[in-house]
Amino acid sequence: MSDKKVDSLVKDLAYSIMGTIIVAEEGWGKDLPDWIKTQITLERMANNIRRAKGEKIEEATDAEVVAYLYTLSLTAPMTREGVNVYEYLVGKYAKLPEGMEVSELDEYEQRTLTQLKRQIYRDSTKAFKSRIGRR
């Protein structure tokens, strides 16, 4: 394995563990439940394995979106689409009360989720690179 590949794997691992968790409101970020933080780390590590196998992944994980929307929901009312995306993702991790389950997203909601994942990933990797002193 080349030195460049090893360096990339080490950076990915460091990001998985120490990468910035992007939240909608910094004040609420300190109140993220531990299970979300743990899930973010696990999902980032799973992405590392996929990257090591050659996949190009430039999106945040589902758990990162949950963290962002969790803090957003504490800050301001969310749109119906935002609520649907949040309930859809949270439903992957917990049993929601009857009537709150969202089993699938419509095309607009899926597009919104994809855009949010890309933006969170860009913001998180930028913050991480800044923190470790690389631009």
Give the pLDDT of residue 107.
Answer: 97
Give the pLDDT of residue 92.
Answer: 92
| Domain total of the chain | 1
Residue 40 resides in a domain: yes
Residue 11 resides in a domain: yes
- In whole angstroms, give the CA distance from residue 135 to residue 132: 9
Give the pLDDT of residue 134.
Answer: 60
Residue 29 resides in a domain: yes
Mean pLDDT of the 82-89 span: 95
Residue 135 resides in a domain: no
Give the pLDDT of residue 113.
Answer: 97
Mean pLDDT of the 58-83 span: 95
Residue 77 resides in a domain: yes
Mean pLDDT of the 3-24 span: 86
Residue 111 resides in a domain: yes
Residue 28 resides in a domain: yes
Mean pLDDT of the 90-94 span: 92
Residue with tokens 């997203």: 105
Its sign, for the CA torsion 21, 5, 118, 56, is: negative
Residue-number span of the structural domain to which 28 is assigned: 3-130
